[in-house]
Amino acid sequence: MTDQIQKQNAPYAVAALVLGICSIVFGCMFVGLVCGIVGLVLAKKGTDAYNEAPDQFTGDGMLKAGKITSIIGIILSALYIVYWVIWVAILGTAYASLWSSLM
């Protein structure tokens, strides 16, 4: 009878993946940026722990997926922030010209 040792998931793999997915879902809010950054940090920590002892863990694919989804979420959030800043600048300019025409 052979003893089979069941391997654990890589540390932070599930958390990195969940935060990466949340960063994409909430990318149109500023919460997505925070989730993406935290997910990227956890994916880095998990990858470092996995690389120290790869024979003890499984699930490095989840770490890679968490890293990729976190990066996508950060990019989407950054694009949304740029969009928001441009929109506020356009509205501010329109409001200022409207206000000056009323005076």
Q: 23-79, pLDDT tens digit by residue?
A: 999 988 789 999 999 999 999 999 999 999 888 888 789 999 999 999 999 999 999
DSSP category for residue 26: T
Domain ranges (residues) in the chain: 10-102
Q: Which two tokens stand for residue 103?
A: 């005076």
pLDDT above 60 (res 1):
no
DSSP category for residue 2: P
Q: What is the pLDDT of residue 77?
A: 93
Task: Provide the 3-class DSSP secondary structure of residue 9.
Answer: strand
CA 11 to each of CA 35, 46, 63, 72, 85: distance values in angstroms, whole numbers, following the listed order: 18, 5, 9, 21, 37
* Whole-prediction pTM: 0.82
Q: Which two tokens stand for residue 38?
A: 């935290």
